[in-house]
Structure 1
């Protein structure tokens, strides 16, 4: 019996150790110079929270947003962001065994300043949101990770009431519905969440939705968007007003049910909400506040989908543009753009609260962070 128990714990230790060494963190940045490192890859120790740099990529300009393919083989990046008369999306192959990230190809973004990418669950489609010119582009992806030319591109022009920030459309993200049969496009400039049907079997997958947009509160500036794991609720963080709008969701339709502040009561102006994610168990929602507060707002999610404020956690840096939660729900990692540091937090699975963990990594102008776990 003693030998059996010892063997069990040995196997458990080996399994945890292997898992801890097969978790990778991808960080994008505004490098402003192709000769500087643009994408960084770290190995995450899931026992300690430490990050160890394993490789970087140069010869690309401003890879500001990254996403990883469902199978983990490919990393896609918004490139040439914040670059006048430019804009592209790029593909890279990642090989965890030899710890290499290798460039595959690029395509034009179909609009200036690409800021967000989503990959269909079948790995065959890439959707890009362009901020400055307010447009969305759709690309086929080959089995080898190559991005083919744009097959659809829709652009928008109308703005909203804030003449400084909303002079025209600014599409800030592109998010698939839980069943991948719709795509949602928060438009900061127009105060709308646009939507299309998505049929992955068609050569041009986007088609008109019965509900082409959901009207957000005027002057709110919809930015990033996420769905609850149960598929019944959706949440949109609004940059300009520092709020989250909660929606009941069904078959391409969003119905508003709550609106709540992301910032503390002490902040009266200068809101700049950033990113939004839900824990894998669906119990907690997190949203980043930039500007004056530089924190992560923590909310519990009630059974009816509404939010209740739990607390706030400093990101120990300035401008947490993007953060991510790993698939186990154990870690939250924040990329602080202005201060140029990436900070790992361990999540309390019961309370939802965060605690700084492991080593802090310096990445100049860090703008995006993604986590992917790989099997041996």
Structure 2
């Protein structure tokens, strides 16, 4: 009898272990220095370690990634595709988080650099940097991508003749209520605002169709405050951030602060800013700087305004994308030119970061996405 009970207990423990959730990190890369495509790691929260479990072959620079709200699918832009661009769909294996390719579609523009998914899981929004085109693709029930349902080609330029000679669409960020999408055009210093029509796979200009930043700033990525009332825009070309009030009803953005510097006053080298995120509590804002090679740390006041409080070197060169985990315990930084991802602990009270000493090597890491699989 004792042996039977022991066997039952063992089976229960094994079953519980098998069903325990895993945290999986997906890494998008550029196809250089031997990169094989998309790298998949298991993240151990208790130690901060990353263990590689898969590589998904893609030689077209699967740089930026997005996870479907169901957790069943993932999408990558193929930045190195031909002039028609490309986006790939993958199925996420339950229990393991490994990826299986599903299909590909054109993004209708050169150099697709960003993809995002609406909260219904029915639409993918793709930003084509090289072509200056914003494209909407339907997502089918099986996770595959349909042919583009809308493609918007922009006009305009900015004062920086080397970087703003024409439109350069860099990101599309969904509002918390899924009613609006904010499209950043680095080339014209504008953030376009659209209302979303999920049923028809279309967008239309909002009543306030765009917001502008300081000429020559180059808006790149956006972070929306957890309360939905404030929006923060990376100004890539001036290494600064712009803060906006957001009208939840109309989607309109009203400038709150412009061109807040994110570099030390005595820094005189070349730098471009890249990514931006708030912590889960909305108390702090972080922005990556390539050249100075650090994350700028800013406090967020109750009125939404930000103040620079410090810098955290990323342990490598060209920190393009970084990730703040949903529990607010860790920050992972992808150093594109030194082929490494570094891991930091986040102090939720001070906003400061501490290097854990943990790091993994990945050729040219560009984008990091973390999710839990069961």
Question: Does TM, scored on the shorter chain, surpass 0.5?
Answer: yes
Name the structure 2 match of 1:69.
Answer: 68
Name the structure 1 match of 2:203.
Answer: 206
Name the structure 2 match of 1:257.
Answer: 256
Name the structure 1 match of 2:26.
Answer: 26
Q: How far off is 1:99 after superposition?
A: 4.4
Alpha-carbon distance in structure 1 between the residues aligned to 2:53 and 2:89:
19
Q: How far off is 1:83 after superposition?
A: 4.6
Quick one: which of 96, 105, 111 aligns to 1:113?
111
The number of aligned residues is: 357
Which secondary structure state, in structure 2, belongs to the residue aligned with residue 172 of structure 1? strand
Aligned positions of 1:59-138 closer than 5 A: 59-79=58-78, 81-138=79-136
Name the structure 2 match of 1:359.
Answer: 358
| 1:236 pairs with 2:259 | no
- In 2, are the aligned partners of 1:184 and 1:194 still within 8 Å (CA)? yes
Which secondary structure state, in structure 1, belongs to the residue aligned with residue 264 of structure 2? coil
Name the structure 2 match of 1:338.
Answer: 337
RMSD over aligned Cα, in angstroms?
2.0
Q: String of CA shifts for 1:51-100, please: whole Å, max 9, x gaps.
A: 00011101441001111111221110011x14552420101111142442
Q: String of CA shifts for 1:199-234, please: whole Å, max 9, x gaps.
A: 223x13201211111111100000000110101100
Which secondary structure state, in structure 1, belongs to the residue aligned with residue 227 of structure 2? coil
- In 1, are the aligned partners of 2:222 and 2:233 still within 8 Å (CA)? yes
- In 2, are the aligned partners of 1:346 and 1:356 still within 8 Å (CA)? yes
Name the structure 2 match of 1:279.
Answer: 279
- In 2, are the aligned partners of 1:51 and 1:358 still within 8 Å (CA)? no
Alpha-carbon distance in structure 2 between the residues aligned to 1:371 and 1:135:
28
Q: Residues 298 and 59 from structure 1, CA distance in 2 versus in 1: closer, same or farther, beyond 3 angstroms?
A: closer
Name the structure 2 match of 1:288.
Answer: 288
Name the structure 1 match of 2:8.
Answer: none
Alpha-carbon distance in structure 2 between the residues aligned to 1:101 and 1:42:
11
- In 1, are the aligned partners of 2:60 and 2:80 still within 8 Å (CA)? no
Q: Residues 19 and 43 from structure 1, CA distance in 2 versus in 1: closer, same or farther, beyond 3 angstroms?
A: farther
Alpha-carbon distance in structure 1 between the residues aligned to 2:323 and 2:117:
16
Name the structure 1 match of 2:160.
Answer: 162
Name the structure 2 match of 1:10.
Answer: none
Alpha-carbon distance in structure 2 between the residues aligned to 1:197 and 1:150:
17
Q: TM-score, normalised by structure 1?
A: 0.91
Name the structure 2 match of 1:175.
Answer: 173
Q: How far off is 1:166 after superposition?
A: 0.4
Name the structure 1 match of 2:45.
Answer: 46
Alpha-carbon distance in structure 1 between the residues aligned to 2:165 and 2:279:
35
Q: TM-score, normalised by structure 2?
A: 0.91
Alpha-carbon distance in structure 2 between the residues aligned to 1:284 and 1:204:
35
Alpha-carbon distance in structure 1 between the residues aligned to 2:35 and 2:364:
12
Alpha-carbon distance in structure 2 between the residues aligned to 1:86 and 1:363:
28
Alpha-carbon distance in structure 2 between the residues aligned to 1:152 and 1:146:
17
Name the structure 2 match of 1:219.
Answer: 216
Alpha-carbon distance in structure 1 between the residues aligned to 2:47 and 2:202:
43
Alpha-carbon distance in structure 2 between the residues aligned to 1:317 and 1:43:
22
Q: Residues 99 and 67 from structure 1, CA distance in 2 versus in 1: closer, same or farther, beyond 3 angstroms?
A: closer
- In 2, are the aligned partners of 1:135 and 1:153 still within 8 Å (CA)? yes
Alpha-carbon distance in structure 2 between the residues aligned to 1:184 and 1:236:
10
Q: String of CA shifts for 1:144-193, please: whole Å, max 9, x gaps.
A: 11011000000112111111110000011000112111111111111111
